[in-house]
A and B are shown apart, each in its own frame.
Chain A
Amino acid sequence: MLYHNAMQFRTSRAPHLPNNYRINRVMGEVLLALIPGTLAMWWYFGWGVLINIALACSTAVLAEWLCLYARGRNPLPALADLSAMVTGWLLALALSPLLPWWQTVLGSLFAIIVAKQLYGGLGYNPFNPAMVGYVFLLISFPVTMTRWLPPDVLSQQTLSLADNLRAIFQGLPPISQGWDAVTQATPLDQMRTGLSQNQMLSEIRQNPLWGDYGARGWEWCANWFLLGGLYLVWRKVISWRIPASLLGALLLIAGLFWLADPETHPFPAFHLFSGATILGAFFIATDPVSASTTPRGQLIYGAMIGLLIFVIRTWGDYPDAVAFAVLLLNMAAPTIDHYTQPTVFGARPKSSHGT
């Protein structure tokens, strides 16, 4: 028996490629690539970021375990693949740092139970679970979800760990300050408000929230997420197509509008380096389950998300648009895949087939 086992070749599943492409490896690399950006967010926005991640991840893992138990599956392999961790982590990065704890927990539960397990678990979910959780929270609790902190470099005094815990778990603003003193609209939100009051961009840019080419603080978070994303592309965990076409399309349309009217449309780099564009392009739009899978399809999928981000940011009701754009294209992904099937290796082109 032992001899028999030793003689067996290790083969991978179809298409029998000699790689080691396992779910937990992929998810582990994604978590690793998220670390630099997460640390940058911690640096600029304080302890709340890390507390949110801890809350969201533990809730997500617990919810996954409960669902698998209720469905009569063996929970261990599914928990070990780290996909619930990634969902919780991505959701937490999208949340405002001082969000009340129960909202973070609710969003996480909604993401795992409704968006993932009710559809059949990992591999069957048509929508990106983290973004479903985020949109659920954004629509349900608009007040707390848009109450962001200004980046650390701009606030008069930094919030201690105790202040963060008080705000998150007791819902109290930091001692001797009101919510309005510590929180602020995000730069994208602030730009919207300014533009809707007929201010020129050159006036809006006077606000200290604006940095060198993106929004202050946000641009550096985006840089570090970009680094993590490039690492994923280099490790071939994600393909370059979705991020490249997403960022390219966003740059193109934002550039055109900026050329036409630079006083109402910001410099294209602002679209890339403020808000969640970079995080979305490399970590969220590339979700292997809900994204398009064919090479040409991925280019279309990414470009459409890029265009939609610009459209929703400019003319939509919400300041940031990555989540909505990704969810809309998740819906379109099966259709895109259907019309962009690559030619099977060895197949003849259709025109010569009949002759």
Chain B
Amino acid sequence: MNYRTIISDGLWRNNQALVALLGLCPLLAVTSTLINGLGLGMATTLVLLLSNVSVSAIRYWVPDEIRLPVFVLIIASFVTTVELVMNAYFHEFYKILGIFIPLIVTNCAIIGRAEAFASRNPVHAAAVDGLAVGTGFTLVLVVLGGLRELIGQGTLFAGAHLMFGEAARSWVLSFGPDYAGVLLVILPPGAFLGLALLVMIRNVLDRVVVRRAQTAPAAVAA
């Protein structure tokens, strides 16, 4: 298995959010703004990378019968670490994301990768997989968060200063105070509708790519 396949799987072909539909709980809950999505996505990616590497490193020593509890313990330790780090260095942001940082433990995408990939592959492949899958997940969180923020409250990059420091306050784009917003998009149903929209767009794009691939050799033969 080469890196190229691993990366394209993680980002697109087996995107955990859009194809496997894993990790929907944080995906739906925190994507009310772009920055929230980015923050949780990065925390998840970090946990995914660390847990993949550790699980892969100890894969010969973990008895098959108790592998799942071991994975959960490993993931939980890394989540706790990430949580403490965020509490220390991004305190305001930590308060906004709240319960969803500890809940990264229950993100099925992470234990899914540990079980399906990291426990059967060498460390370097597992590391690339963790990064690719995490990035794919983060991208979906960012796009969905941006979409909901833009339609729902008419801004983009609101709260950027929580992550990038005071200088980022001026990054906020806005439709202006006259934009009343669409409350439904901010509420949970908006997350479901937005995710469905993204899944639809991904499927359409996929179909276009497949059709191109089918017609291209024919054109060469002709």
Q: List A residues at the B interface (Cβ < 8 Å).
A: 114, 136, 139-144
Decide if B103 is an interface residue (CB 8 Å cutoff). Answer: no
Min CB–CB distance B193 → chain A (angstroms) = 8
Q: Which 10 A-B pairs have CB atoms at the shortest separation, nearest pair first?
A: A140-B184, A140-B182, A139-B184, A140-B183, A139-B183, A136-B184, A141-B180, A139-B187, A142-B183, A143-B180
Interface residues of B in 155-194 (CB under 8 A from A): 180, 182-185, 187, 189, 193
- Give min CB distance, A345 to chain B, whole Å: 43
Nearest CB of B to A309, in Å: 22
Residues of B within 8 A of A143 (CB): 180
Q: Which residues of B contact A136 (CB under 8 A)?
A: 184
Q: Which of B180, B189, B193 has the most CB of A within 10 A?
A: B180
By a CB distance below 8 angstroms, the chain B residues around A141 are: 180, 182-183
Which chain B residue shows the least CB distance to A137? B184
Q: Which residue of B lies closest to A100 (CB)?
A: B180
For B187, the closest partner residue in chain A by CB is: A139
A140 to B181, CA, bound (A): 8
Chain B residues bordering chain A, tally (CB within 8 A): 8
B154, chain A: closest CB distance, angstroms: 13
**Bound: A142/B187 CA distance, A:** 13
Residues of A within 8 Å of B187, CB to CB, are 139
Residues of B within 8 A of A144 (CB): 180
List residues 98-156 of chain B with CB under 8 A from any CB of chain A. none
Nearest chain A residue, comparing its CB with the CB of B184: A140
List, sorted by A's number, 10 A–B pairs whose CB atoms are closer than 8 Å: A139-B184, A139-B187, A139-B189, A140-B182, A140-B183, A140-B185, A141-B180, A141-B182, A141-B183, A144-B180
User: From B186, which residue of chain A is reached at the shortest CB distance?
Assistant: A140
In the assembled complex, how far is the CB of residue B141 from the closest CB belonging to chain A, in whole angstroms?
A: 23
Q: Which residues from chain A contact B193 at a C-beta distance below 8 Å?
A: 114
User: How many angstroms from the CA of A114 to the CA of B197 in the assembled complex?
Assistant: 11
Residues of chain B within 8 A (CB-CB) of A114 are: 193
Q: How far, in angstroms, from A30 to B184 measured CA to CA in the complex?
A: 31
Q: For B183, list chain A residues within 8 Å (CB).
A: 139-142
State the CA gap A144–B181 with chains docked (Å). 12
Q: Write the nearest CB–CB distance from A137 to chain B, whole angstroms.
A: 9
Report the minimal beta-carbon distance from A54 to chain B, rounded to whole angstroms.
Answer: 24
A40 to chain B minimum Cβ distance, whole angstroms, is: 31
B9-59 interface (Cβ within 8 A of A): none
With A140-B183, A142-B183 given, can you name 14 additional A-B contacts, CB distance below 8 Å? A114-B193, A136-B184, A139-B183, A139-B184, A139-B187, A139-B189, A140-B182, A140-B184, A140-B185, A141-B180, A141-B182, A141-B183, A143-B180, A144-B180
- Nearest-neighbour CB distance to chain A for B69, whole angstroms, equals 38
Distance, CA A311 to CA B183, complexed state (A): 25
The distance in angstroms between the C-alpha atoms of A142 and B184, with both chains bound, is 10
**Cα A144 to Cα B193 with chains together (Å):** 23
Bound together, the chains give a CA A144 to CA B183 distance in angstroms of 12
A142 contacts which chain B residues (CB < 8 A)? 183
State the Cβ distance, B126 to closest chain A Cβ, in Å.
Answer: 39
User: B130: shortest Cβ distance to chain A, in Å?
Assistant: 35
CA distance in complex: A141, B184 (Å): 8
Q: Which B67-118 residues sit within 8 Å CB-CB of chain A?
A: none
- Chain A's nearest CB lies how many Å from the CB of B102? 30
- Which A residue sits closest to B196, measured CB to CB? A118
Most central of B183, B185, B193 by chain A CB within 10 Å: B183
Q: Which residue of A lies closest to B193 (CB)?
A: A114
- Docked CA distance A144–B189 (Å): 21
Instruction: Give B202 Cβ to nearest chain A Cβ, in Å.
Output: 17
CB distance from A114 to the nearest CB of B (A): 8
For A139, list chain B residues within 8 Å (CB): 183-184, 187, 189
Shortest A327–chain B CB gap in Å is 12
B181 to chain A, nearest CB (A): 8
Q: Could you say which residues of chain B place their CB within 8 Å of the CB of A140? A: 182-185
In angstroms, Cα B180 to Cα A136, docked, is: 15
Chain B residue nearest to A144 (CB atoms) is B180
Most A CB within 10 A of own CB, among B184, B187, B189, B193: B184
Residues of A within 8 A of B185 (CB): 140
C-alpha spacing A291/B182, complex, angstroms: 29
Which single residue of chain A is at the shortest CB-CB distance from B152?
A140
Tell me the complex Cα distance, A143–B182, Å: 11
Contacts of B180 in A (CB 8 A): 141, 143-144
Q: Which residues of A contact B184 (CB under 8 A)?
A: 136, 139-140
Q: How far is the CA of A140 from the CA of B187 in the complex (A)?
A: 9
Q: How far is the CA of A114 from the CA of B184 in the complex (A)?
A: 14
How far does the Cβ of A112 sit from chain B's closest Cβ, in whole Å? Answer: 15
Could you say which of A136, A140, A142 has the most chain B C-beta atoms within 10 Å of its C-beta? A140
